[in-house]
Amino acid sequence: MKILIIGSGGREHAIGWKINQNPKVEKLYFSPGNAGTLALGENLPSMSIEQLAEFAKEKAIDLTVVGPEAELSMGIVDLFQANGLKIFGPNKKAAMLEASKAFSKDFMTQYGIKTAQYQNFTNLDLALEYLETQSFPLVVKASGLAAGKGVVICQNKTEAIEAVRTMLSGDAFGKAGEEIVIEEFLEGFEASILSIFNGKEITPFVSAKDHKKIENGEKGLNTGGMGVIAPNPLFTKEHQLMFEKEINQPTLKGLLAEGLIFSGVIFYGLMITSKGVYLLEYNMRMGDPETQTLLPLMESDFLELILDAIDQKPLEIKWKDQSACCVVMVSGGYPKDFEKGFEISGLENLEIPYFVAGAQMEQNKMINTGGRVLNLVSCQPTLQAAREKVYQEISKVKYNKAYFRTDIGEI
Residue 344 region, left (φ>0) first, then alpha (ψ -120 to 50), else beta?
A: beta
Per-residue three-class SS string for 162-216: HHHHHHHCCCCCHHHHCCEEEEECCCCEEEEEEEEECCCCEEECCCEEEEEEEEC
Per-residue exposure over 185-224, b if at least 16 CB sit within 10 Å of its own CB, e if not: ebeeebbbbbbbbbbebbbbbbbbbbbbbbeeeeeeeebb
Q: What is the mean pLDDT of the chain?
A: 95
pLDDT at 176: 67
pLDDT at 41 over 90: yes
Residues 335 and 371 sit within 8 Å (Cβ to Cβ): yes
Range from 20-24, 83-87, 97-101, 170-174 carrying the lowest mean pLDDT: 170-174
User: Is 321's pLDDT higher than 90?
Assistant: yes
Q: What digits encode the pLDDT tens for the residues 156-179?
A: 999 999 999 988 887 767 776 688
pLDDT bin (cut points 50, 70, 90) of residue 148 is low
Residue 333 is predicted with a pLDDT of 96
| Cα–chain center distance at 263 | 17
pLDDT given for residue 152 in this prediction = 87
Label residue 38 by pLDDT band (50, 70, 90): very high
pLDDT > 70? residue 236: yes
At 121-143, the pLDDT tens digits run 989 999 999 999 999 999 998 88
Question: What is the per-residue pLDDT for 272?
Answer: 98
Of 39, 33, 25, 45, nearest to 5 by C-alpha is 33
CA distance 278 to 332: 35
Instruction: Give the whole-angstrom CA distance, residue 220 versus residue 212.
Output: 9
Tens of pLDDT, residues 252-300: 999 999 999 999 999 999 999 999 999 999 999 999 999 999 999 999 9
- What percent of the chain has pLDDT above 70? 98
The per-residue pLDDT for 145 is: 76
Please check the confidence at residue 216 and state whether its pLDDT lies above 70: yes
Measured CA distances, 96 to 79, 143, 144 (Å): 16, 10, 9
CA contacts within 13 A on the Cβ side of 247: 31
Mean pLDDT of the 192-206 span: 98
Contact 385, 367 (CB under 8 A): no
| Predicted local distance difference test score (pLDDT) of residue 350 | 98
What's the half-sphere exposure (Cβ side, CA atoms, 13 Å) at 218? 10
Q: What is the pLDDT of residue 156?
A: 95
pLDDT digit string (tens) for 333-364? 999 999 999 999 999 999 999 999 999 999 99
The pLDDT score that the predictor gives to residue 158 is 93
Q: How far apart are the first and last CA of the chain?
A: 42
pLDDT digits (tens, 9 = 90+) for 370-410: 999 999 999 999 999 999 999 999 999 999 999 999 999 99
d(CA 380, CA 324) in angstroms, rounded, equals: 7
56-68 average pLDDT score: 98
Mutual angle of helices 302-310 and 10-19, in 10-degree steps:
90
